[in-house]
Amino acid sequence: MLTDICQVIQRNLDHFESTRNGLVLDCMDEHIIDVLPESFTAFTTSRSVYQKAQSGGRMTFGVLPEVDAKPDTVLVIMPKSKPELRFQLAWIRANVQPGGNVYLVGAKKEGIASGAKLLDELGGQPTKIDVARHCQLWQVEALDPVDSFYPGDWETTWSFSLPGAGDIKVCSLPGVFSHSSLDKGTACLLETLEPFFDDLVKRRKPLKGEWLDFACGAGVIAAYLLKRFPELTVTCVDNSAVAIHCAKRTFEMNGLSARFIVSDGLAEVSGRYHGIVTNPPFHSGVKTDYSVTESFIADISLHLKRKGQLFMVANSFLRYPQMIREVFPAYKRLAADNRFAVHYAQMSG
């Protein structure tokens, strides 16, 4: 069954049939490219979407598209935030053919109406092409090109401080989780870990060995771990190429080093770790999606050493404690309020 967005695109194929060099940006549905003419390729920042795509080489993956020739048509899938859309439109201004067609498609609940208001940044007059399946399709001509696009111009840097780790600088780009500030879930996790780690240090049992930050985003948790315990070996993993790019920049700014992996869940993670720390996702775009975290919990035992530890923060209402108990012999909740809970678990010795 095609998604609503795919169906809207399919209803309007006459707008895309004359395209000579088309690009879909940033594709979060592997089926979209199959609906469009062969003259289109799709770009995604999502490792999972890229691996699911059965598009005969028509899907590419990375931080930003790499184009040999400027596309004459770009179809933008409405992202989850307007700053991310502005970031994409800025790239388009520098890379689409002058006078090229730019389309924006998305669901009403994903903010397509407000997103369409940004299309005039391309210089043309936006036109609503279709309204169907609770979605809208818009078109605008790219009449105001620029010579270049520098992603560094869109970086946001911010910092936070905790007594045990000192000041930590963070680099982020639009679209990365908790862009421009520390999210409340991660703050809850780190504030809970501070006294827990203080006690370990007092008992001369600091964290040791190899640790994994799952769904690392901009690398906040991993950077905190290394600032707190510099002897650790840390690996950062995320499904998003942009997130991993930002995590690398965060580590550079703090003079830290780590291993970085772009992976669909734990699929490309090998070996076992002494511990895993995570603020896992439960959204795909604006949609609720528990599958990533549920798969993570189910597979986690394959990636932990004997007595390996898990620290995880999640919304309090989620049913993760029961799932964690099914995997770990030892479990306890370190903290909880009406919004978040911090879970701790340990493998057997």
Would you kindly state where each structural domain of the chain is located, as residue ranges?
2-146, 154-344
CATH topology of domain 2-146: Rossmann fold (3.40.50)
% of the chain at pLDDT higher than 70: 97
Q: State residue 53's pLDDT score.
A: 86
Arithmetic mean of pLDDT, 193-217: 95
Q: Categorize the per-residue pLDDT at 349 as very low, low, confident or very high, splitting at 50, 70 and 90.
A: confident
- Among 44-58, 71-85, 93-107, 274-288, whose mean pLDDT is lowest? 274-288
Q: State residue 271's pLDDT score.
A: 94
- 154-344: CATH homologous superfamily? Vaccinia Virus protein VP39 (3.40.50.150)
Instruction: Decide whether 2-146 matches 154-344 in CATH topology.
Output: yes
Taking the C-alpha atoms of residue 261 and residue 269, their distance in angstroms, rounded to an integer, is 7
Q: State residue 284's pLDDT score.
A: 53
Taking the C-alpha atoms of residue 303 and residue 252, their distance in angstroms, rounded to an integer, is 27
Q: Categorize the per-residue pLDDT at 149 as very low, low, confident or very high, splitting at 50, 70 and 90.
A: very high
User: Residue by residue, what is the 3-state secondary structure of the chain?
Assistant: CCCHHHHHHHHCHHHCCCCCCEEEECCCCCCHHHHCCCCEEEEECEHHHHHHCCCCCCEEECCCCCCCCCCCEEEEECCCCHHHHHHHHHHHHHHCCCCCEEEEEEEHHHCHHHHHCCHHHHECCCEEEEEECCEEEEEEEECCCCCCCCHHHHCEEEEEEECCCEEEEEEECCCCCCCCCCCHHHHHHHHHHHHHHHHHHHCCCCCCCEEEEECCCCCHHHHHHHHHCCCCEEEEEECEHHHHHHHHHHHHHCCCCCEEEECCCCCCCCCCEEEEEECCCCEECCEECCHHHHHHHHHHHHHEEEEEEEEEEEECCCCHHHHHHHHCCEEEEEEECCCEEEEEEECCC
Tell me the per-residue pLDDT of 90-103, one tens digit each, with 9 for 90 and over: 999 999 999 999 99
Arithmetic mean of pLDDT, 297-324: 94
Q: Categorize the per-residue pLDDT at 319 as very low, low, confident or very high, splitting at 50, 70 and 90.
A: confident
Q: Categorize the per-residue pLDDT at 160 as very low, low, confident or very high, splitting at 50, 70 and 90.
A: very high
Q: Categorize the per-residue pLDDT at 288 as very low, low, confident or very high, splitting at 50, 70 and 90.
A: low
Q: State residue 180's pLDDT score.
A: 82
- Mean pLDDT of the chain, nearest integer: 94
Residue 240 pLDDT > 90, yes or no?
yes
